[in-house]
Structure formats: C-alpha cells, structure tokens
A and B are shown apart, each in its own frame.
Chain A
Amino acid sequence: MNPISTLFAFLMNLPERPMRWAQGRLSKGRLGWVFVAPNLAVFALFTFLPIAFDIHYALTGGTNLLPSQRPYVGAENFASLLDCTDHFDANTCHRDLFWHGVWNTLRFVVFQVGLMLAFSLLTAIVLNRKIIGRSFFRAAFFYPVLLSPVVVALIWKWILQREGLLNAAMIGVGAEPTNWLLDPHWAFFWSVFVSIWAHMGFYTLILLAGLQAIPAEINEASQMDATPPWRHFRRITLPLLMPNVMVVLVLGLIRAVQVFDEVYVLTGGGPGSATVFVVQYIYKTGFADQIRQYGLAAAASLLLAGVLLVLTLAQMKGSQKKNG
C-alpha cells in the first residue's frame, strides 16, 4: 500500500470509534440526528437565525441597526405597508412604492413564468430532435445562464439605450429609433424579455432531461398508431413530463418573485416606478434610503416570504393531487 492510501485509510477509520461509541449509547433513530446535526447547524445559523432576526426587525421600529436598541412597535410596520384606500390603486396607498412593486411583481410573475415555461418547453422539444448542430444549440441556449445578472443587464442596456445597438440597427433600416428603456411599457417588456433570455437555458435543460427520460418504446408505439403530433404531445409527452414542468414552475416562480438584480441594473426601477419590484423596495427601504427603515424592509420581506410559501404549498398540493 502506498503512503497516500495508508493515510486515506487512517483518516477514514478515524470516526469509527466515536461512531461505535455513539451507536452504543443512542438508539438507531437518534443516531440519525447526529448525521444531520452539522447540516442543521449550518441551516440554523444561516437560515433560521436570519428569519428570527427578520421577525424581530419587522416588529420593531426606528433607525437603529442593533436589535437591542430597537423599540417594539407590534404590527405597525405591517399596518403601514398595508394601509391603502384601494389596494388595486397604488397611488392611494400610504407606501405607494411598495404597492407599485407588488403589482409590478405580480405582472412580471405572470408574464415571465408563463412565457419562459412556454419557450423553454418549445426549445427543449426542438433540441430533443435530431437536428443539425444540436450540441451547439444546446450550449448556445445554456450560455446566458453562466453570465452574472449584472453582466446580462449591462449587455442589454448597451443594446437598448438611446444610442444603443438596437436603435442603430433601426436607423440602419430607415425606422425611427425608440427610447426602449424610457417608455414604461417597453421598459417592462424588456425586463421580462431579458429575464427570460438569461434564465431560459437552465429550465430548458431540466425539461430536456425529462424528455430524454421518456421511454423510446412509448414514442414508437404512438408512431405505429399514427397518433397526430399534437395529440401525442398532449396525451403522452406532457403527462410524462409533468414532474419536470412542476419543478420548472416552482423554481421559475420563486425566482420571478425575487427578481431584482438584472432589472435594477437595466432600468433602475424606472421610468418612474414602472419596473420597481418588491425586492427593490426592500433594498431601497433597508439599505439605500437616507433614513433606513429596517423594520419596514423586514416586514415587506416577510410578506414576500408568506406569498412564496403559499404559492409553493399550493403547487406542491397540486402536484400531489396529480400524482395521487
């Protein structure tokens, strides 16, 4: 045995004694906790503890950062955020920017997740066929996923700004240039588009894996029965792909609700507040405003977390029903 193997074997045998000792003293069920304890400790430190802090901040007020110096205000921060004459009209709300963020986020989720799912599915189906340059296209579609969100936003800003590439091309073909990022509708459209462009590759990959897992004999049997393509897709492909679609839906939804970095760099939330999302409001209130209202930011983040939790549970329930 070479020295490295000896050292490796020695290191591997090191935990044996304490494990035997623990096994002797703990029942089988309790021993499991020993194995998950390190992971739980990390989870507690970096997830549960921040959540506890978040709740504390949400229930306290003032501008002090240290928890011990913050006065208890109860549900005041939540009441302030939810104070509206008409919740559908952000301008009637006390915290109007928060509600602009809420409605913009909702619109973004509907369009971004819906369109991304559709395009990812379409792309996965095409890339699953025997087309020329399939490997190249798979890599090309996945490539934007590797870019940092800030890089993605800067690239698109360069394309979409007034003197950008897109307007140069439009002038080149004799069309009128457009202020893509200064018109509220276009700015929102491009926010959705850029987000889809940046993340679609990842979801396409998940769906592609699902498509490749469908047994070939099922497809062959369908072909032998001369099933029309649309029917084949609806009755065979889609049901078998449903677990992957659910994963894409849940991940896409969570990501869309959390949208911030790309859009913040691309539009800064503008024009006006046309592309302000809830996370930008949280960032602004907690970290960028001159008077930092950590309590309000924490309350907004808890409301966001609540919405995410409800959405995730609803989807889990939905998928359980389908499977059951």
Chain B
Amino acid sequence: MRHAIIAASLAVLLTSATARAGEVRIACYSDGNECESTEILAARFMQANPDIKIAIDKMSFKAIQESLPVQLAAGQGPDIVRTTDFGPIMAYMLDLTPYVKDPAYWEANYGGTLGWMRRDANDHGIYGLMTQLTISAPLVNKTLFDQAGVAVPKAGATWDEWATAVKQVKEATKIVGGMAWDRSGARFAGPSISMGATYFAADGSPAVIDDGFKAMASRYVAWAKDGTVKGDIWSQAATGYRDAFDDFANGRIAVYLSGSWQLSRLEKTVGDGFDWVVGAEPCGRGGCTGMPGGAAFVALKHSKHPKDVGAFLDYLASAPVYAEWMVMTSNVPANVALQKKGLPYKLSKAGTAAIQQFGADAATLTPLAYKLQGDVMSRPIFGAVADRIAAVMAGQMTLDQAYARITSDVADAVAASKK
C-alpha cells in the first residue's frame, strides 16, 4: 500500500513536471492592446513550436512595478516581464545573446534601445526587446483651437509661445485648464531639456538642478498658478503617476503633454468627438525635444527555459512579425529599419497623422533625452522631480526648497543604491 502511494505521488509530480516543461510565463501589462496582440502572435509561435508553451499573465502596470523586484529577489517570478523600469531588475536580467539566432541583427535594428537595459558602456548583452518606442509630445485639441480662432503653434515655436496660445484658447473657450501634463518626472524632463537642463554633471553623475531646469520649473509653477496649466493633476497626490487623459478626452483642456502610448486609447475614446493632432515638440534654448521611452519584454535569468525565452523573443523581433505587432498595437517601432520604412497602420486619419509625427519626432529627440531615459538613476530622478514640483504647486514649499529637496532626494537614492 505504502509503495503504491509513493508511486502514485511520483507519477503526479512527474506528470506536472512534464506539463510545465517548455512553459514560458510572461507578466504583461497593456497600454492599449499589447498583451492581447502578443497572445495572437504567441499562438502562431506555439503552432510552429509545439514543444514550447507561452503563457501570458495579464496584470496592471502598478502590480508589476511594485511586486516584481520582491518576487525576483525571492527567486520567483515570470520568465519574461513587460516593464518600463529596468533599473531595479538589472541584476536579474538574462543575457539573450547565446539564445538568439543573430545577435548582430538585434544590435543593428534595436541597438539604440538595447543600451537602456545595459548596466554600463562595457555591457553588450541583449536583455530584452522593446515592445514599443514611446515619444512624449503635446496632443492638441484642434477643435478648441479652431473655436478660439487661435492657430496651433508650428514647429520651432517656443514653450512660451505654446503657453500664450493655450491661455488664449482657455480664455476664449472657458475650459477648466489650458494644458495638462501627466504627473511624471519623465514628462517634465522633455520640456526642461528643451529649456537647457542637462541633468548630469561632467563626470556623468546626476546633477538635476541647473539654470535650464529652473527655467522650466519656474514657468511650470507660474503656469499652474495662472491656469495655463491644470495644476491639480500634479498637486492632487503626494506621490506616484497620474495621467490627464480623461481631461483631454472630455475636452476640458486644449493641450495634453503625454505621448504615443495614448494612441489606441485616443482612437477608442475620442474617435470623432473632436479633431486632435500631435503638435511639434515645443522648443527652448536646449532644443525642441520630448522624451523617448517605452516598455520592453525583459528576459529574466532565473528562467528554467532560457532557450525557449530566446526563441520567442527572437520570433517577435524578426522584422515581419515585429512590423505586424506594431501595426496591431499602433505603436512606434523600436526597430530602426522599420522606423525608416514606415508601417501600414490601420488607424483613423488623425491617428495616422499622429503616428507619423511621433515617428518623425523619434529621430529628432536630443541625445540627452535618450541618455537620461536609459540611465540607472532616471527613475529616482523622475520621482523626486514630480513629487517636489507637485509640493510647490500644492503650496507646501517654495521652488528653492524644492530644488534643494530634489538634490538631496537624488543623492539619498544614489547613496542607497551603492550600499
């Protein structure tokens, strides 16, 4: 009897082990339909590779951000994760170089963004595949501009010219706020770089506060005070990300500083409710730039099936599949060849014009914007900037106090990360 029980238990264990062999689990969140479209491609991949199973666990962005580092430290977690935050998980990333067919293809086509997942300049590993390249830019409610009889600022217009135009639209149309920016230090980074902020000292260490940063911060706070900017998006919370999408979709603001990841939401939500366009990147003495970014499928090194992980990401990275994926998700491709070639998006007229504008912006963003996005300390910098500028908007500190706090917050984060 005892032997029978042991035999039965072993049989159950073996069967479950066999069932799990070759299973690649992906923790995925969607900006629009990224997980769903990956499921379609995964089904096709599994047909061609019946010994590999791809399981996609859909979860929220916040759930991934908050639980993943803890899971990974405990030796748990998925094989692949979709994330925008590479710094905290760098120690757990799997170098796919031995598992992809042609590393040179990856380097040639995805080289610019592969660097975002690398530890330093000496690191040449392939740790993941960008599922999109996002570009921040002003989304403009053209109907409101037309109603106000104000022209949408053209390429080369400065931030001050944008602010003046937006204020005119606000006053003419009686909307609640002229423009709104997502509550995010990354969103603030584009305009501040345009105003001349450099974010790094000569030795490459973070140095956030300089004249360029102050020029943008003081403008932003002043705009929030006079209603040019809808400041409550920032001041409403003590910490964390908040977007202003609902305000834009409901016609409560004329300009929304967000980015290309909102495209499918815009298509679905706004539809033909009003005319909207993507404005040219506003300028300052530092250039005319937004911020690049985006989420990647990152491979994790505790995976028991690194070969399968490599095979699946290799499949997604191949030009025809990646092109189809980008069309399905209405995303700007991180693949340089596809960026140049252009893709046959199935979007509305406004959507098509928008994605063309985002694609064109990708090539003109300043190198500093790419460097900042890829820096290990970018997230702590963005967090400190958003929280402290928000505190100024809420009337809890002065700008000078905020500058001092941003500097000390970033210094604390650097010190903590070095221990």
- Smallest Cβ-Cβ distance to B71: which chain A residue: A65
A274's nearest neighbour on chain B, judged by CB, is B394
Whether B417 and A63, one on each chain, are in contact in the complex, defined by CB atoms closer than 8 angstroms, is yes
Contact B396 A272 (CB under 8 A): yes
A271 CA to B390 CA, complexed, in Å: 9
Residues of the B chain whose Cβ atoms lie less than 8 Å from the Cβ of A290: 85, 87-88, 379-380, 382-383, 413
* Segment 203-241 of B: residues with Cβ below 8 Å from A: 232, 235-240
Q: How far is the CB of B205 from chain A (nearest CB, A)?
A: 15
- B238 near A97 with CB under 8 A, answer yes
In chain A, positions 234-273 with a C-beta closer than 8 Å to chain B are: 267-273
Q: Please tell me which one of the listed residues A65, A66, A91, A268 contacts residue B239 in the complex, with CB atoms under 8 A apart.
A: A268
Query: Any chain A CB within 8 A of the CB of B320?
Result: no
Contact A291 B232 (CB under 8 A): no
B408 near A: Cβ within 8 Å? yes
A293 touching B396 in the complex, CB below 8 Å, given contacts A64-B73, A287-B66:
no
Q: Which of B358-394 contact A (CB under 8 A)?
A: 379-380, 382-383, 390-391, 393-394
Residue contact B235 to A182, C-beta cutoff 8 Å: yes
The answer to whether B405 has its CB under 8 Å from any CB of chain A is yes
Give the number of A-B contacts (CB < 8 Å): 95
Contact B74 A288 (CB under 8 A): no
Across the interface, do B232 and A182 meet the contact criterion of CB distance under 8 Å? yes
Contact mask for chain B residues 305-341; partner A; CB cutoff 8 A; 1 contact, 0 none: 0000000000000000000000000000000000000
| B277-303 vs A, Cβ < 8 Å mask (1 yes, 0 no) | 000000000000000000000000000
Q: Please measure, in the bound complex, the distance between the C-alpha atom of A66 and the C-alpha atom of B76, giving whole angstroms.
A: 13
- Chain A residue at smallest Cβ distance from B185: A290
Chain B residues in 8 Å Cβ range of A97: 238
**Which residues in chain B, 397-419, are within 8 Å of chain A measured between CB atoms?**
397, 401, 405, 408, 413, 416-417, 419
Is the beta-carbon distance between A182 and B401 smaller than 8 angstroms?
A: no
What distance in Å separates the Cβ of A164 from its nearest Cβ neighbour in chain B? Answer: 13
Residue numbers in B under 8 Å from A50 (CB-CB): none
How near does chain B come to A109, taking the closest CB pair, in angstroms?
19
Q: Does A138 contact B (CB under 8 A)?
A: no
Interface status of A284 (Cβ within 8 A of chain B): yes
Q: Is B273 an interface residue (CB 8 A)?
A: no
Residue in B70, B383, B394 whose beta carbon sits within 8 Å of that of A289 in the complex: B383
CB distance from B294 to the nearest CB of A (A): 17
| Binary contact readout A285-324 vs B (1 if CB under 8 angstroms, 0 otherwise) | 0011111110000000000000000000000000000000
Decide yes or no: A269 and B239 within 8 Å by CB, A65-B69, A91-B401, A184-B394 being known contacts. Answer: yes
Q: Is A94 an interface residue (CB 8 A)?
A: yes
Chain A contributes a number of interface residues (CB within 8 A of B) equal to 35
Residues of A195-212 whose CB lies within 8 A of B: none
- What residue in chain B is nearest A73 (Cβ atoms)? B419
Partner of B73 from A66, A73, A267, A289 at Cβ < 8 Å: A66
A179 at the interface (CB under 8 A from B): yes
Residue from B69, B237, B405 within 8 A of A267 (CB atoms): B237
**For the complex, what is the distance from the CA of A63 to the CA of B405, rounded to whole Å?**
21
Q: Is A96 an interface residue (CB 8 A)?
A: yes
Which single residue of chain A is at the shortest CB-CB distance from B70?
Answer: A65
How long is the Cα–Cα vector from A288 to B68 in the complex, in angstroms?
11
A287–B232 alpha-carbon span in the complex (Å): 25
Residue of A nearest to B408 (CB): A94
Known: A182-B232, A292-B69. A65 touches B74 (CB 8 A): yes
Count B interface residues, CB 8 Å: 35
Contact A272 B394 (CB under 8 A): yes
CB distance from A92 to the nearest CB of B (A): 10
Minimum C-beta distance from A75 to chain B (A): 15
Answer whether A273 and B417 are a contact pair too, CB < 8 Å, given A280-B238, A287-B66, A288-B240. no
Check: A194 CB closer than 8 A to any chain B CB.
no
Minimum CB–CB distance for B375 against chain A, Å: 12
Q: Which residues from A are CB-within-8-Å of B391? A: 272-273
| Given A61-B419, A63-B417, A91-B401: A291 touches B239 (CB 8 Å cut-off) | no
CA distance A287 to B88 in the complex (A): 12
Q: Is B395 an interface residue (CB 8 A)?
A: yes
A182/B236 in contact, CB under 8 A: yes
User: Chain B nearest CB: distance from A212 CB in Å?
Assistant: 44
What B residues does A272 contact at CB under 8 A? 235, 238, 390-391, 393-396
Give the nearest-CB partner of B75 in chain A.
Answer: A66
Residue of B nearest to A284 (CB): B239
Question: Contacting A270 at CB < 8 Å: which of B73, B236, B379, B380?
Answer: B236
Q: Nearest B residue to A69 by beta-carbon distance?
A: B73
Closest-by-CB residue of A relative to B414 is A291
Could you say which residues of chain A place their CB within 8 Å of the CB of B88?
63, 290-292
- Give the nearest-CB partner of A101 in chain B: B238
Residues of B within 8 Å of A268, CB to CB, are 236-240, 242
In the complex, how many angstroms separate the beta carbon of B91 from the nearest chain A beta carbon? Answer: 9
- Nearest CB of B to A5, in Å: 28
Say yes or no: A270-B235 contact (C-beta < 8 A), given A61-B419, A290-B380: yes
Q: How near does chain A come to B308, taking the closest CB pair, in angstroms?
A: 27
> Contact between A270 and B417 (Cβ–Cβ < 8 Å)?
no
Q: CB-CB < 8 A to A289: which residues of B?
A: 380, 383, 413
When the two chains form the complex, which single residue of A181, A276, A293 contacts B416, counting CB atoms closer than 8 Å? A293
Query: Within the assembled complex, what's the spacing in Å between the Cα atoms of A289 and B381?
Result: 11
Q: Which residues of the other chain, B, contact A184 by a CB distance below 8 angstroms?
A: 394-395
What 4 A-B pairs are tightest by C-beta distance, nearest first? A272-B394, A269-B238, A268-B237, A290-B379
18 extra interface residue pairs, beta carbon distance < 8 Å, beyond A182-B236, A288-B65: A62-B419, A65-B70, A65-B74, A73-B419, A94-B408, A184-B395, A269-B238, A270-B235, A270-B236, A270-B390, A271-B236, A272-B238, A272-B394, A284-B239, A287-B70, A289-B413, A290-B379, A291-B379
Which residues of chain A have a CB within 8 Å of any CB of chain B? 61-66, 71, 73, 91, 94, 96-97, 179, 181-182, 184, 267-276, 280, 284, 287-293
CB<8 Å pairs between A and B, sample of 12: A63-B419, A65-B74, A91-B397, A97-B238, A181-B236, A182-B232, A269-B238, A270-B235, A272-B395, A289-B380, A290-B87, A293-B416
